[in-house]
Structure 1
C-alpha cells in the first residue's frame, strides 16, 4: 500500500515537473496569439456592429469571414516550403511567418479603429477578412511551431497540448473582458487601439521566443529527389517538382497515413464544424444585447 502511494506521489511530482519546461511557456503565449484574433473579429466586432445599429442579418453574414479557418489547410503546405526574404533568415521558418501575419493583423486592427462600420460596412468587412486570413495562416504556423518544438519528447506532448488550449482561451477571454468592460466608457475605436497594442506585445514575444529545430529541409530534399527521378529532366520538370513537393506531397502523405475514408471524414468534420461555428457562434453577443445586457455586464 505504501509503495503504491509513493508511486502515485512520484507520478504527480513528475507531471508537475514537466510544466517547468520553458518550451511550454513559449507554447502558452503562442496559444494566446492564436486565440486573440477571435476577439477582434468575433465578440468585439459583434458588439460594435450591434451598438452601431446594424441588423441581425448583417451581423450574421459578417461571421462568414470565419469560414477562412476551415479552408486554411489549402495553403498550409506553402508555409513549410516558402521561405520569407529577410525574416526567414533572421527568425527561422516558423517565427517569420508568425511575425508577418501578426504585422498584417496589427495594420488591419489599426485601420478598423479609424472606421465607422455603420457608414463603411464593406470596408470594415474587408479588414475583418484580412485579419481572418492572417489569423488562420498564423494558426498553421503556430501548430507547426508547437509540433516541432516538442518533437519526439513524448513526456511533454500532453502538457504542450494543455498549455496550447489554456493559452488560446486566455488570449480570447481576457482581452474580450477588458474590451467590453471599457467599450461604454471609451468607445469601440479606442478599444481597438488598445487591441493593437496587445498585438504589438505578442509580436515582441514572437521575437523573443525560440525557433524550433526540425528535419523539415532534409525531408523536403528527399522528396525533391524522389519526384525528380519520376519526372525526369524535362524543361518543365523543376516547376512540377516544386509544385509536387510543396502542394501535392503533404496531402498525399496525409491520405497515405490515414486512408481515403478516414482522411475525407476528418476533413469533412473540420470543415462542417468550422462553418457552423462561424455563423452561429457570432450571434451570442447579439442575443445578450437583445435581452438587455450592457457591455459591462457581458464582460462580467
Structure 2
C-alpha cells in the first residue's frame, strides 16, 4: 500500500460514525499527553528564561533540549525489543513503556520547576539538564504512541486516528502554551517584574496535567501483536543490548563534548556567523554520531552482544525500507521527510520571542497564538485529514508545502507593522491553518511508509528525521535574526521551503511510477 491510497474512501456519515470509535477517541487523550511537553521546552520556557534575564541567543539554544525527538530512532529499537520487568506482563509491551515515559515526563517537569534560572549559570545548566530529560522522556512517549496508533487500528482508521491525535496534541499545546502563560501572569510574573514562584507553580500545574495521559494508558487495551519475534532472547541478551546502547550513547556524548573545544575554535576562526555556525554544528553532531556508531560496531564485533539480535534491532528496519522502495525512491522519500517541516519549525523556535520583541504582551500572545492559533490548527488538521481522504495524501502534502512556506511572508508584514493585533491574528490564522493541514497529511503519509514488522523503529526514524535538521537550524534563529533582522529572517524561512515543493512532486511521481511497475510485473 502506497501513500496515495491509504485513506478511508467511505462517505461523510461513515467517517462521522468512526470518530466515536474508542480507539479513535483514545488518540485524542494520548495526543493531549504528547502535546504537553513540547512547549514547556520551546516557547513557554523561552519566555520564562527571557523574563529571568537569560540572553536571547542562549534562549534559542535551549531548543536543542528537544533534539531527543530527532534522535529517538536510536533507542526506538530497544522499546520494540525490551520488556520491562513486571510492567510488561501487567500492561503489555506498548502500555508498559507508555506508563514509564509519562511518569518520567512528570518527574522532568517537576525538576524544571525546582530550578530558578535567574540565580546564575549553574542553575541555567541544571535547567538545561532537566529540559533534556523532558525531551528524552517525551520523545520516548511519542515512539510508543506512534507505534500504538499504527498497531491498534485498521488502515481505514489511520486517517482519523492521525486527525484526532493531532487535535489532542494541539489541545495539549494550548494548555502548555496559553495555559502556562496565563498562569504565570496570574501568579505574578511579567516582563520586567520576574517572579520565580509564579513560574514554579505554573510548571507544577503543567506536570499535573500529564495525569490525563497516565489515566488513558491505564484504561486503553494493549494492541494485538502483529508479528512474533523471530527469536526469543534471554534476559542476559536484553541486558547486554542495553549495555551496548548506553556505551554507544556515552561515546556520542563524550565525542560531542571532547570535540566541542575544537569546533568552538573553528567557529571563532570562521567569524562566528550563523551560517558557518550551523554548518560547523552539523559537522559537530556528525562527528559525535560517527563515534557512537564506531563504538557500537566494535562492541558487536567483539561479541559484547548477540550479533543476530543487534542486526534485527538496528539494521533490519532500515534494510526493510530500502528493499520495499529501492535506493533511489527511498533516498528521495528520506529527503522529503527531512525537509518537509523546515519552514514552520525554524520560524516557530523564535516566534514567541518575536511577538514579545515587537511589543505584544504575554496575555495578548497567549490569546492570539496559544488559544486562537491552536484552535485554527485543530480545524486545519481535521480539514487536512478529510481532504486527504477525498483527494489523496500526496495532493494535500503538496498544498501543505506551498502554504507552509508562503504564509511565512505574512510575518514580514507583521514585523513591519509592529504590535498590530489585526495583523497578528491574520498571521497566526494563516500559519496555523497551513501547519494543521500539512501535519495531518504528513502523519498519514509517514504511517503509510511504515512496515508493521518494524512499527516503532521505522516511524521513529521518519519522525526523527523530520525534525533533526530544522531544529539544529532553529537553534541559530536568534543569531540569524541578530544578523539580518526579523523581516529578512521570515523571507529566509519562506525560501528554504521552496525545495520542499519540488521534493513532494518528485516523490509523488516516483511512487506512481513504482506502483505502475509493480502492477505490470503482477500482470505479467
TM-score range, shorter chain: 0.7 to 0.9
Give the unaligned 5+ runs of structure 1: 1-9, 225-234
Checking the alignment, whether the CA contact within 8 Å between 1:18 and 1:155 is kept in structure 2 is no
Q: Matched residues in 1 for 2:162 and 2:28: separation?
A: 9
Q: CA 1:12 to 1:270, structure 2 compared with 1: closer, same or farther past 3 Å? A: closer
Q: Matched residues in 1 for 2:342 and 2:128: separation?
A: 17
Q: CA deviation at 1:75?
A: 2.0
**What RMSD over aligned residues (CA atoms) do the two structures have, in Å?**
2.4
1:296 aligned to which of 359, 363, 366: 363
What's 2:107 paired with? 107
* 1:106-145 mapped onto 2 (5 Å cutoff): 106-118=106-118, 119=120, 120-145=123-148
Q: TM-score, normalised by structure 1?
A: 0.85
Q: Matched residues in 1 for 2:134 and 2:340: separation?
A: 20
* CA offset digits 1:158-217 (Å, max 9, x no partner): 21121111111111123322111121221211110100111123212211222111223x
Checking the alignment, whether the CA contact within 8 Å between 1:66 and 1:275 is kept in structure 2 is no
* 1:1-300 mapped onto 2 (5 Å cutoff): 11-118=11-118, 119=120, 120-150=123-153, 153-186=154-187, 187-216=198-227, 218=228, 220-221=229-230, 239-272=306-339, 280-300=347-367
Q: CA deviation at 1:262?
A: 3.0
What's 2:249 paired with? none
Checking the alignment, whether the CA contact within 8 Å between 1:35 and 1:171 is kept in structure 2 is yes
Q: CA deviation at 1:49?
A: 0.7
Q: CA 1:23 to 1:176, structure 2 compared with 1: closer, same or farther past 3 Å? A: same
SS of 1:101's partner is helix
Q: CA deviation at 1:222?
A: 6.5
Q: Matched residues in 1 for 2:87 and 2:75: separation?
A: 19
* CA offset digits 1:232-267 (Å, max 9, x no partner): xxx959811111122211121122122223333443
Q: CA deviation at 1:34?
A: 1.6
Q: Matched residues in 2 for 1:277 and 1:77: separation?
A: 29
Checking the alignment, whether the CA contact within 8 Å between 1:65 and 1:129 is kept in structure 2 is yes
Q: CA deviation at 1:83?
A: 0.9
Q: Which has the higher contact order (CA 8 A, sep 6+)?
A: 1
| Number of residue pairs aligned between Structure 1 and Structure 2 | 277
Give the unaligned 5+ runs of structure 2: 1-9, 188-197, 234-301, 368-524
